[in-house]
Structure 1
Amino acid sequence: MNHKNAITMTMLSVIAVFAIASFVGFKIVDTDAATMAVQPEKFVFVEKVSTTALFEFKDGTESMPIQQFTQTSGFGSKSSHSRQTPTFTLEKIVGSTPYLYAAADEAYANVSGEYPTKDFTVTVFEAAGGDVYRSFEYKNCLVTNYVVATRSDNEEGYTGKGFAVVDQFTFECRGYEPHNPMMDKMNIVETAKTISSSDLNKKNQWREQFIPKTP
């Protein structure tokens, strides 16, 4: 067997090994962690899983911690050919969210018709730290109800635990898409970077150690 044939056999063996490895296995590739909003220190969440909502309006975006998130419809079927209208509720501490407040105010002032903050997108993240376990993307949304309420633990609000002044929103959307980031990571397969057998005769594809040295 001459030197060039030996090189060819070696390269074919390497290609075969990489092909088998890429066929029978996979590697989970890390993705950038989503930025989660910081919850107030006094609030306790089981397993540290909390909710963050990202609102995308025509004029800007807002991200905020959410204390209560409930999906009220959208999963079930309205008929044999369509799903229910996606709706959900959010509750958060009253705070600096001017775009969201504008969306609520303009929805109240314009019962029917168009207004600047209509048809926004909301992405709700369920995460612990930077690990997102579930996310839900709602599109073409509007505010259908908004109230401010004060919460307390019965009379203990007066005796030490305090009060929480909260925003309560109800949303209706025309688009809904659930996401499963953990499964997405598991399904990512890293393919091997190999040279095809048709390229073996092209010396510019060979690594330096495989190029025959001229005497």
Structure 2
Amino acid sequence: MFSSHKTLKRRTPAKGIDRREYIGHLVDEYYTTTNVEAQEQVTANLANFAYDPINWPHLLETDALDVFLASLESQDQPLKLHGIAALCNICFVKFIREQLKPITDLFVRTDHPEIVFHSLALFYQLLESGDVDRDLLLSPSLLRTVQEWRIKAHDQRIVKLCQLLLQDFATRTEVVELQNAPPTLPAAEQPTTSAGSSG
């Protein structure tokens, strides 16, 4: 549910910390703590703030978008999820357009369904807005990953988003090529052989 400034003022105690200041404290905590669980709590809180447009100016002023971007580069799955979910919710096109590579790289290499779901939703928003060049976003590797998730996902939300993305934004030639291409697995899922294994 979206908030109004009047509602926020009524809910904030007279001596309570204001929202912009609180978000600023969260951003500072992300960078000063070395505890991953604390960072997870911070990014979860910041991602929740991203749901409501009334918070967006505060998120921008405190550089919270840089926290979301930094989360994508983490080795921690919850941090990655909070980062991509927040970017999906807030969808500041100019910022995201300048940061497409880490966002698309995360999508192509992840095996986390919720990260995939939020990434697909973000891609669809960007393409639907027309503010991001289709050819820049829909690289062959990204389209291939979309096709693979469309086939292998058990989550129908992911399947439907993959179908919509391919149907609305891929060319007929690209779709045909995807259907004829052999499936590939993310690097983490590639089968490995042990040097000491026996046949």
- Which category describes the TM-score, using the shorter chain as reference length? under 0.3
TM-score of the two chains, using structure 1 as the length reference: 0.19
Q: Rg: which structure is higher?
A: 1
More strand as a share of residues:
1
TM-score of the two chains, using structure 2 as the length reference: 0.20
More helix as a share of residues:
2
